[in-house]
Amino acid sequence: MLRWVLLLTLLVNSLLFLWYAQQYRFADAIRQPDIRPAGQKLISELSESERPSLRPRECASFVKLETEYEAESLASFLDEALIEDVIQRQSPPMQVGLRVEMPLPADSASRITLLDELAKLGWLPESRDGALVFGQFSDELASETFAKEFPAELKSRLRFKPAYSQVPTYQVDFSYLQGFEIDQKILKLVAKRWPFAEIEKNHCEGVASGKLDQ
Identify the domain containing residue 184 by its residue range: 57-93+167-211
Residue 15 pLDDT > 70, yes or no?
no
Local structure of 179: helix, strand or coil:
coil
In order, the DSSP letters of 148-164 are: TTS-HHHHTT-EEEEEE
User: For the whole prediction, is pTM greater than 0.85?
Assistant: no
Task: Please check whether residue 192 lies inside any domain of the structure.
Answer: yes
b vs e for 129-146, b when ≥16 Cβ sit within 10 Å of the residue's Cβ?
eebbbbeebeeeeebeeb
pLDDT tens-place string over residues 164-205 = 888 889 999 998 887 777 788 888 999 999 999 999 888 765
What is the rounded distance in angstroms from the CA atom of residue 201 to the CA atom of residue 211?
A: 5
CB atoms under 10 Å from CB of 91, counted, come to 16
pLDDT digits (tens, 9 = 90+) for 84-126: 889 989 988 888 899 999 999 989 999 999 999 999 989 899 9
Instruction: Share the mean pLDDT of the chain.
Output: 80
- What percent of the chain shows pLDDT beyond 90? 41
Residue 124 is assigned to a structural domain of this protein: yes
Residues 144 and 131 in one domain: yes
Do 88 and 177 belong to one domain?
Answer: yes
**Residues 148 and 200 both lie in one domain:** no
